Amino acid sequence: MMRRTMLCCIAAAFLFCGCTMAPRYTRPEAPIPKDWPEGDAYKEIKTTDAPLAEELKWRNFITDQRFQKVIEMALANNRDLKLAALNVEKARAYYGIQRAELLPAFDAVGTGSRQRMPADLSSRQITGVVEQYSVNLGVLSWEIDFFGRLQSLKDRALEEYLATEEAHRSARIMLIAAAAGAYLTYAADRENLKLAEDTLKAQTNSYDLIKRRHDVGLASELDLRRSQTQVDSARENVYLYTQLVAQDENALNLLAGKILPKELLPDGFDSVVPPKDVSPGLSSEVLLKRPDIMASEHMLKSINAMIGAARAAFFPRISLTTTMGTASAELSRLFRSGQDTWNFAPKIVMPIFDARIWAAYGAAKVEREIALARYEKTIQTAFREVADALAVRGTVEQQLTSQQSFVNAVAETYRLSNARYMNGIDSYLSVLDAQRSLFSAQQGLIALRLAKAVNLVTLYKVLGGGSE
């Protein structure tokens, strides 16, 4: 009969558990406009049939095969991403621990003791050895969650676990974008290195020509020295970009987690297939699916659940200890008939005055306001990042067109200046200025090509591109 009573109590406890005192959660209104920004910087952004970033897997976004292999190596070997994955596993384990708190733990306990009892303490007034043995099975201590404290703590652990999952997904997207940016930067610096080498070759040929003219009295010492400065400057640029290319390769190796084979590295921009275009969509609501924003919302839900646990602390805490087993004064009689024992010990603790409970409840409410502010700031930051990327997208083509026209004009200026100098019409100073302008303009063109390609990657990242 007693066993039936104990089982009924446990079953009733399960029926009453599950409800929490956490406030009803509603997603806060996003503190950003629903439409993307408008203005001169965004006029050239046209609606296209390009897929949304979240719908585009990274292998479909980056189609260059060598490029893909670099990113695959990064996803497989990058240590930061491994840490993010381990944090997910840790959060999952903590959630499992907290969820298990809702269930009673059944334990088997065996004890045995021998004690010498003096005569004045013995009921029979004789000195002797007292033996006692027992084996029990039951619930040693289980809190019955009538007011949802443990359920709220379980909900909090679940939301924290989901937040780490979203953080891991965000880390994957960030790694893909970082690897893509580093790969494109390497390609740009290789392009700059080739430009510097070609410029050095041209300046060396020009210097040799002027030196021959100087040797026969057709060029001044000043022209020769000015030409030499151009050779030295071009040689310095070669060393500079040789250094930058090596550093870019080191950055790629770090992101990839291992040394990249040379055949996977690009020779320049022309050897890289640019990433595909993506659409920002018609509304900024797509940002709510960004992993970092979803992670921030899960943390907000976690604090909301914590408020439920803080509220439940004001109510009685009920725990149950119950065991069934056998006991005997002799080990040989332990499992014989008639040696059954049982124990049923419910316990209730009612807080009367505890200032810590009120302080904890107040702290939980403040924590929720902090989490809400962080959530809103994350959304605002995401909107700003997309707006910046769209501003680049709306103007970079015009910049490239203007820069290409500028390069063509400066190249023609250099050609004419050099011809006039060779014909004795102008001084070498005009040739010198044209050479410097041409090199600077060509560098600017490479920088804009890099900016356009990197902006595609940035737009994919800030729109929450698919990490799979």
What pTM, to 2 d.p., does this model score? 0.84
Helices (H) and strands (E) in the chain, counts: 9, 4
When comparing pLDDT for 40 and 127, which is higher?
Answer: 40
Residue 393 CB neighbours (<10 A): 21
DSSP-derived pairing of the beta strands 340-349 and 317-328:
antiparallel
Mean pLDDT value across the chain: 83
Of 14-18, 33-37, 69-73, 411-415, give the lowest mean pLDDT range. Answer: 14-18
Give the CA dihedral 172, 177, 180, 186, nearest 10 degrees. Answer: -120
pLDDT at 298: 93
Helix (H) or strand (E) holding 170: helix 149-215
Q: How far apart are CA 123 and CA 158, in angstroms?
A: 57
Sign of the CA dihedral with 374 first, then 375, 379, and 385 last: positive
Give 335-383 pLDDT, tens digit per residue.
Answer: 777 677 777 777 787 888 778 888 888 888 899 999 999 999 999 999 9
When comparing pLDDT for 466 and 11, which is higher?
Answer: 466
Q: Are 274 and 456 in contact (CB under 8 A)?
A: yes
Residue 331 CB neighbours (<10 A): 11
- The token duo for 70 is 């670099």
When comparing pLDDT for 399 and 118, which is higher?
Answer: 399
380 CA to centre of own chain: 18
pLDDT at 259: 92
Q: Count of alpha carbons within 13 Å of 107, Cβ hemisphere only?
A: 10
Q: Once rounded to an integer, what is the mean pLDDT over residues 132-155?
A: 78
Residue range 19-102+145-315+366-462 forms a domain whose CATH class is mainly alpha
Q: How far apart are CA 462 and CA 456, in angstroms?
A: 10
pLDDT at 407: 93
Backbone angles phi, psi at 104, to 5 degrees: -70, 145
**Model confidence band, residue 16 (pLDDT cutoffs 50, 70, 90):** very low
Query: CA 441 → CA 95, 194, 444, 446, distances in Å?
Result: 58, 15, 5, 9
Q: Does domain 108-140+316-350 have CATH number 2.20.200.10?
A: yes
Q: Are 256 and 78 in contact (CB under 8 A)?
A: yes
Give 201-232 pLDDT, tens digit per residue.
Answer: 988 888 788 788 777 777 777 877 878 888 88
Residues of the chain with CATH 1.20.1600.10: 19-102+145-315+366-462
> What are the beta bridge partners of residue 139?
106, 322
Q: How far apart are CA 183 and CA 271, in angstroms?
A: 12
When comparing pLDDT for 320 and 40, which is higher?
Answer: 40
Q: How far apart are CA 107 and CA 138, in angstroms?
A: 6
Which residue in the block uniquely carries the two structure tokens 């334990």?
A: 107
DSSP string, 257-300: TSPPPGGGS-SSGGGSPPPPP-B--SSGGGGGGSHHHHHHHHHH
Q: How far apart are CA 213 and CA 127, in angstroms?
A: 127
pLDDT at 345: 74
- If phi > 0 it is left, if psi is from -120 to 50 it is alpha, else beta; for residue 230 that is alpha
- The token duo for 25 is 């959660």
Give the CA dihedral 250, 255, 257, 262, nearest 10 degrees. Answer: -50
**Model confidence band, residue 48 (pLDDT cutoffs 50, 70, 90):** low
Query: CA 397 → CA 63, 99, 282, 462, distances in Å?
Result: 22, 55, 22, 20
Q: Count of alpha carbons within 13 Å of 249, Cβ hemisphere only?
A: 16
Query: CA 7 → CA 3, 139, 339, distances in Å?
Result: 6, 11, 21
Residue 112's SS3 state is: strand
**Model confidence band, residue 150 (pLDDT cutoffs 50, 70, 90):** confident
Burial 48-77 (b: 16+ CB within 10 A, else e): eeebbbbebebeebbebebbbebbebbbee
Q: How far apart are CA 61 and CA 340, in angstroms?
A: 71
Predicted confidence (pLDDT) at residue 120 exceeds the cutoff of 90: no
pLDDT at 13: 47
Cα angle for residues 102, 311, 19 (degrees, 5° grid)? 45
Q: Once rounded to an integer, what is the mean pLDDT over residues 260-285?
A: 87
Q: From 326, 339, 345, 341, select the one nearest 139 (Cα to Cα).
A: 345
Residues of the chain with CATH 2.20.200.10: 108-140+316-350
Q: Are 455 and 389 in contact (CB under 8 A)?
A: yes
